[in-house]
C-alpha cells in the first residue's frame, strides 16, 4: 500500500488570505514531491495545543505567520542560529525526532533583493521603517551583506533603539523615532511596518529618497501598497512590494523540509498575474 503524502501547512490568525498554499502546491508539482499543504486559522490561546497535535499526528512541517512568530519560538525544541538571533520563528520542521524552529524571512528578502533584483548592498545606506517581528527576522541577513549602516525608525522609538542594541554586534545599526533621523538620502528603504495593512503610510521626509533609492515594502496585496504608491509619486524608479520575499522565504522553508530547492520565477510570475 502506498504511504499517505506528508502533511504541511501554515498557521496564522487570520489566515484565509494566505498565498502559501498556492505557492507550496506549485513547488510540490514542479519538484514532484508528494505532500499536502493546508492553511489553519488558530487563535493565540490554542496555538500550543494545535501545533503539538499536528506533529503528534505525523505532520512534517509548518509555516508560522502573524500573530504567532514570536510565540512559536517556544514551540520549537531546537532553534537555528538565525531564528535564535531573530527571536522569531516562521518555520517549524520535524527533523530527527526534534521540532526545529527556523526563520527564513531574512534569507527570503536578501534573495529577492540581491538575486532577483540584482542589488549590491555592500557599503549602502539602509533605512528600515518598523521594529516588529519582520524587522527582527531581516536584520542579521542584511547586516551580513556589510552595508555602510542601517537605521531603524519606528513609531515607538524605544523599540527601534532596543532592537538596534540587540544587533549592534553584527554591524552599524541605530534606532530612532520617525522624523528623528537625519534625512540624507538612503540607497534602500524597507517598509517593515504593518501600516500598509490599514492603507496608511508611515511618515517619512521626502529628502530620504532620490529617484535611485530602491523602496521595498514587505507588505503585498492586490495592486500597489500605499508605500509603493508614495515612493513612485516621489519619482522613485524602483518601488517593489514583498511578493518576491514571500516566494523566496517559502522556497527556503520548502528546502528545509524536503531537501530540494524549488525554482521561484514561475511561481512569482503566477502570483503577480493573480494579484494584479
Ligand atoms: P508586527 O510585529 O506587528 O510589527 C508592526 C510594526 O509596524 C511595528 O513596528 C509598529 O510600530 C508598526 N506600525 C503598525 N501600524 C503602524 C502605523 N499605522 N504607522 C506606523 N507604524 C506602524 O508586524 P511584522 O510581523 O513585523 O510585519 C510587518 C509587515 O511585514 C506586515 O505588513 C507583514 O505582512 C509584512 N511581512 C511580509 C513578509 C513577506 O514575506 N513579504 C514576511 C514577514 C512580514 P509600533 O512598534 O510603534 O507599534
Question: Is 134's C-beta closer than 6 angstroms to any atom of ligand 1?
Answer: yes
Whether 218 is in the pocket of ligand 1, judged by its Cβ within 6 Å, is yes
Whether the CB of 158 sits within 6 Å of ligand 1: no
Q: Look at residue 227 in the predicted model and tell me its pLDDT.
A: 94
Using the mean position of ligand 1's atoms as its centre, give its distance from the Cα of residue 192 in Å.
Answer: 5
Q: Which residues pair with 10 in a beta bridge?
A: 39, 63
| Unique residue bearing C-alpha cell 540607497 | 187
d(CA 49, ligand 1 centre) in Å: 26
pLDDT tens digits, residue range 59-89? 999 999 989 999 999 999 999 999 999 999 9
What residues contact residue 253 under an 8 Å CB cut-off, 6+ apart?
61, 63, 90, 91, 102, 104
Residues 140 and 80: their CA atoms lie apart, in Å, by 13
In whole angstroms, give the CA distance from residue 59 to residue 9.
Answer: 9
Q: Cβ atoms within 10 A of the Cβ of 188, count?
A: 21
CB of 200 closer than 6 A to ligand 1?
yes
Tell me the residue ranges of DSSP E strands in 32-77. 35-41, 61-64
Q: How distant, in Å, are the alpha carbons of 8, 22, 35, 72 from that of 39?
A: 9, 10, 14, 16
Closest Cα to residue 192, out of 151, 247, 237, 162? 151
Calculate how far, in angstroms, residue 105's C-alpha sits from the geometric centre of ligand 1. Answer: 13
For residue 47, what is the enclosing H or E element? Answer: helix 47-56
Q: For position 255, what pLDDT does the model report?
A: 98
Distance 206 CA to ligand 1 centre (A): 21
Predicted local confidence at residue 1, as pLDDT: 59
Answer yes or no: are the C-beta atoms of 129 and 203 closer than 8 Å: no
Evaluate: CB of 130 within 6 angstroms of ligand 1.
yes
The whole-angstrom separation of Cα 48 and Cα 250 is 23
Q: Which of 196, 198, 197, 230 is nearest to 215 (CA)?
A: 230
Q: What is the CATH number of domain 6-103+246-275?
A: 3.40.50.10860
At 193-234, the pLDDT tens digits run 988 778 888 888 888 999 999 999 999 988 899 999 999 999
Ligand 1: centre distance to CA 129 (Å): 9
Give, using CA atoms, the residue closest to atom 39 of ligand 1.
Answer: 246
Say yes or no: do domains 6-103+246-275 and 106-241 share a fold: yes
DSSP helix/strand/coil, 125: strand
Q: What share of the chain is helix, strand, coil (3-state, %, to 5)?
A: 40, 20, 35
The residue ranges of the chain whose pLDDT is under 70 are 1
Looking at 60, 68, 69, 125, which residue is catalytic?
Answer: 69
Exposed, middle or buried, 182 (CB in 10 Å: 0-12/13-18/19+)? exposed
Query: To test ligand 1's pocket by mutation, which of 112, 194, 267 has the most ligand atoms within 8 angstroms of CB?
Result: 194
- Reduce the DSSP state of residue 44 to 3 states and report it: helix
| Active-site residue flag, 69 | yes
Domain 106-241 CATH (choose: 1.10.340.30, 1.10.10.60, 3.40.50.720, 3.55.10.10): 3.40.50.720
Q: Looking at ligand 1, which atom is closest to the CA of residue 137?
A: 43
Ordered by start, the domain boundaries in the chain are 6-103+246-275, 106-241
CA 256, 257, 263 angle in degrees (round to 5)? Answer: 70
Amino acid at each position: 500500500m502506498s504511504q499517505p503524502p506528508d502533511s504541511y501547512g501554515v498557521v496564522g490568525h487570520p489566515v484565509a488570505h494566505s498565498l502559501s498554499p498556492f505557492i507550496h502546491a506549485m513547488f510540490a508539482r514542479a519538484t514532484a514531491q508528494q505532500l499536502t499543504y493546508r492553511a489553519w486559522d488558530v487563535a493565540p490561546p490554542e496555538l500550543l495545543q494545535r501545533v503539538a497535535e499536528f506533529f503528534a499526528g505525523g505532520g512534517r512541517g509548518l509555516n508560522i505567520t502573524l500573530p504567532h512568530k514570536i510565540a512559536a519560538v517556544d514551540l520549537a525544541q531546537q532553534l537555528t542560529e538565525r531564528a535564535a538571533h531573530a527571536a522569531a520563528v516562521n518555520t517549524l520542521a520535524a527533523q530527527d525526532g526534534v521540532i526545529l524552529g527556523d526563520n527564513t524571512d531574512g534569507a527570503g528578502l536578501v534573495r529577492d533583493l540581491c538575486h532577483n533584483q540584482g542589488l549590491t548592498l555592500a557599503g549602502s545606506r539602509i533605512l528600515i521603517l518598523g521594529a516588529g517581528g519582520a524587522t527582527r527576522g531581516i536584520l542579521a541577513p542584511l547586516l551580513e551583506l556589510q552595508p555602510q549602516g542601517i537605521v531603524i525608525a519606528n513609531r515607538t522609538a524605544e523599540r527601534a533603539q532596543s532592537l538596534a542594541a540587540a544587533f549592534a554586534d553584527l554591524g552599524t545599526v541605530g534606532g530612532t523615532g520617525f522624523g528623528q533621523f537625519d534625512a540624507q538620502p538612503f540607497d534602500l528603504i524597507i517598509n517593515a511596518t504593518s501600516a500598509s495593512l490599514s492603507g496608511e503610510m508611515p511618515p517619512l521626509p521626502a529628502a530620504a529618497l532620490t529617484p535611485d533609492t530602491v523602496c521595498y515594502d514587505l507588505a503585498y496585496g492586490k495592486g500597489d501598497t500605499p508605500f509603493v504608491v508614495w515612493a513612485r509619486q516621489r519619482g522613485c524608479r524602483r518601488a517593489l512590494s514583498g511578493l518576491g520575499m514571500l516566494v523566496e522565504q517559502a522556497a527556503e522553508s520548502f528546502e528545509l523540509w524536503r531537501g530540494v530547492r524549488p525554482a521561484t520565477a514561475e511561481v512569482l510570475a503566477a502570483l503577480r498575474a493573480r494579484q494584479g
